[in-house]
């Protein structure tokens, strides 16, 4: 009901840019440019956790990008899922082209799930909504893509926002699992884990572990130029893509 009401309210209430508050537009050109930035890039949190997939992000989590993600997630600016999905689609394409060994099959976007408690509180699942928008943008570009929400939380977890890096990993350890029949849904496609935001990498690391329990997320390298994961030598992680991550995760790539 809350999500439905937000959709209706968006039609009658004054519109302002979710990034900077500029009136009479949901997303102004300046904030749109900040969201897409120079294009998707490989990102690494510091420190980089063992088991983290190769991750690509579209923009640093700062300024207007941070405001846009919060407006969509916490304030119900649901129509921002379109531009956020476009940004995620670019990161998905970059991740798949750099890390995929087979080069065949549809792109299967697996969103990191939100807790049932947060979904009830917000009235929607922001990551899944952005993932659906991203899959639509990919199909518009001629790429076969669909969302397969095969991950779910197997136990209650604490709110991550109040935890440090060590606490986040402890909080999420063993928290996710693949739903019954999920492995079959991933057959014949190229799995890409997706999330709206990466900070420490705890969520994506746990998601990769859960997938590996039923559908090994590692594929043998067929090219010396492919990205390899240090904790899994000789293997390549199924890649991951996010809309944004901390600026420091981008900066390390320039040093």
Give the Cα separation of 20 and 197 in Å (integer): 19
Residue 183, helix vs strand vs coil? helix
Q: Tell me the mean pLDDT in the region 164-170.
A: 54
What angle separates helix 126-140 from helix 63-74, to the nearest 10 degrees?
Answer: 110
Beta strands in 11-87 (DSSP E): 41-43, 55-60
What pLDDT, on a 0 to 100 scale, did the predictor assign at position 9?
47
pLDDT exceeds cutoff 70 at 218: no
Give the Cα separation of 120 and 151 in Å (integer): 18
User: What confidence tens digit (pLDDT) does each residue in 173-203 have?
Assistant: 557 889 988 888 888 889 999 999 999 998 8
Q: Identify the CA nearest to 201 among candidates 90, 53, 95.
A: 53
Give the Cα separation of 125 and 67 in Å (integer): 18
Q: Tell me the mean pLDDT in the region 112-139.
A: 88
Across the chain, which distance is largest between two alpha carbons, in Å?
56
For the chain, what is the radius of gyration of the CA atoms? Answer: 18
What pLDDT, on a 0 to 100 scale, did the predictor assign at position 219?
40
* Rounded alpha-carbon distances, angstroms, from residue 176 to 126, 143, 155: 18, 29, 8
Give the Cα separation of 2 and 190 in Å (integer): 34
Question: 133 near 86, Cβ under 8 Å?
Answer: yes
Candidate from 64-73, 218-227, 230-239 with smallest mean pLDDT: 218-227
DSSP letter for 160, please: G
Give the Cα separation of 111 and 109 in Å (integer): 6
Query: Is the CA virtual torsion 219, 90, 53, 228 positive or negative?
Result: positive
What pLDDT, on a 0 to 100 scale, did the predictor assign at position 119?
72
Higher per-residue pLDDT: 219 or 171: 171
Higher per-residue pLDDT: 219 or 105: 105
């Amino acid at each position: 009901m809350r999500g439905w009401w937000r959709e209706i309210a968006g039609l009658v209430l004054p519109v302002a840019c979710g990034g900077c508050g500029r009136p009479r537009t949901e997303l102004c050109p300046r904030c749109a440019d900040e969201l897409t930035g120079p294009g998707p890039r490989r990102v690494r949190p510091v420190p980089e956790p063992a088991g983290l997939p190769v991750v690509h992000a579209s923009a640093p989590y700062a300024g207007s990008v941070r405001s846009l993600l919060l407006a969509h997630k916490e304030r119900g600016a649901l129509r921002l899922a379109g531009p956020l999905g476009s940004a995620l689609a670019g990161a998905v394409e970059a991740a798949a082209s750099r890390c995929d060994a087979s080069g065949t099959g549809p792109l299967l976007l697996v969103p990191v799930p939100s807790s049932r408690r947060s979904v009830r509180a917000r009235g929607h699942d922001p990551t899944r909504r952005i993932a659906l928008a991203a899959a639509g943008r990919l199909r518009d570009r001629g790429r076969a893509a669909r969302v397969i929400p095969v991950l779910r939380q197997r136990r209650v977890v604490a709110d991550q926002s109040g935890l440090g890096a060590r606490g986040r990993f402890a909080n999420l350890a063993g928290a996710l699992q693949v739903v019954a029949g999920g492995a079959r849904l991933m057959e014949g496609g190229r799995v890409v884990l997706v999330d709206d935001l990466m900070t420490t990498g705890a969520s994506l690391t746990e998601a990769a572990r859960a997938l590996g329990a039923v559908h090994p997320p590692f594929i043998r390298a067929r090219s010396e130029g492919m990205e390899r994961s240090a904790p899994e030598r000789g293997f390549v992680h199924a890649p991951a893509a996010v809309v944004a991550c901390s600026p420091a995760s981008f900066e390390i790539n320039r040093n």
